[in-house]
């Protein structure tokens, strides 16, 4: 998901977060599509950005290639500090998040409908493996 300014929002995009008025009143639920009417309403209320679901335009191969390049760049950035355990933990965390992102994206490509609904809680082991 990503936050975009209201002038970049177009009808049909799917809200990744519920939209509320400044006083908390619900305007549109999570998962609902943006409409012309909603955009006019948001402009009137001075709401200047919305969070939308990102559409995945990459293929499976491209996602895997991007991930491979990411790990390569990550190794290059961390080339100097191999012995520092704090920085090793940081690197592991970065890697964990990238893997999670890769897997969610692949799930979205393989099964566009269910993936956006049932995104699971992060596995408990992730934080622990960082500490190991």
Partner 1 sequence: MPSQPAIQDRVQAKREVRRIKNLPTVPGIVAKISRMVENPETSAAEVGRLISQDQVLSAKVLRMANSAFFGMSRKISSISQALVILGFEVVKGLVLTSSVFDMIQKSMAGLWEHSIGCAAASGAVATLLGRDDAEEILVAGLLHDLGKVVLALNLPEEMNLVREKVKNGKVLFYEAENEVLDFDHSELGQWLAEHWNLPESLAEPMRLHHRPEKAVLKPECTAIVHIADIIIRAKGFGNAGDLLVPPVSMAAWEMLGLRKTDFLPILDILEPKLSSLCDITSID
Residues at the contact surface with partner 1, assessed by CB under 8 A: 1-3, 5, 22, 46-49, 73-74, 76-81, 84-87, 89-91, 93-94, 96-97, 126-128, 130-131
Closest approach of partner 1 to the CB of residue 12, in Å: 21
Q: Is 43 or 110 the residue whose CB approaches partner 1 more closely?
A: 43
Closest approach of partner 1 to the CB of residue 122, in Å: 8
Q: Is 12 or 124 the residue whose CB approaches partner 1 more closely?
A: 124
Instruction: Enter the tokens of residue 108.
Output: 């979205």
HEC assignment per residue over the chain: CEEEEHHHCCCCCEECCCEECCCCCEEECCCCECCHHHHHHHHHCCCCEEEECCCCCCCHHHHHHHHHHHHHHHHHHCCCCCCCHHHHHHHHHHHHHHHHHHHHHHHHHHCHHHHHHCCCCCCCHHHHHHHC
Q: Is 6 or 107 the residue whose CB approaches partner 1 more closely?
A: 6
Closest approach of partner 1 to the CB of residue 121, in Å: 13
Closest approach of partner 1 to the CB of residue 91, in Å: 7
Q: Is 57 or 113 the residue whose CB approaches partner 1 more closely?
A: 57
């Amino acid at each position: 998901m990503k936050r975009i300014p209201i002038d970049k929002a177009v009808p049909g995009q799917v809200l990744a977060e519920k939209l509320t008025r400044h006083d908390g009143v619900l305007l549109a639920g999570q998962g609902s599509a943006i409409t012309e009417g909603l955009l006019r309403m948001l402009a009137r209320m001075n709401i200047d950005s919305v969070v939308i679901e990102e559409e995945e335009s990459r293929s499976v191969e491209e996602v895997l290639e991007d991930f491979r390049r990411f790990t390569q760049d990550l190794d290059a950035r961390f080339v100097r500090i191999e012995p520092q355990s704090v920085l090793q933990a940081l690197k592991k965390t970065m890697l964990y998040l990238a893997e999670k992102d890769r897997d969610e994206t692949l799930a979205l490509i393989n099964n566009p409908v269910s993936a956006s609904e049932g995104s699971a809680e992060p596995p408990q082991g992730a934080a622990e493996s960082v500490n190991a």
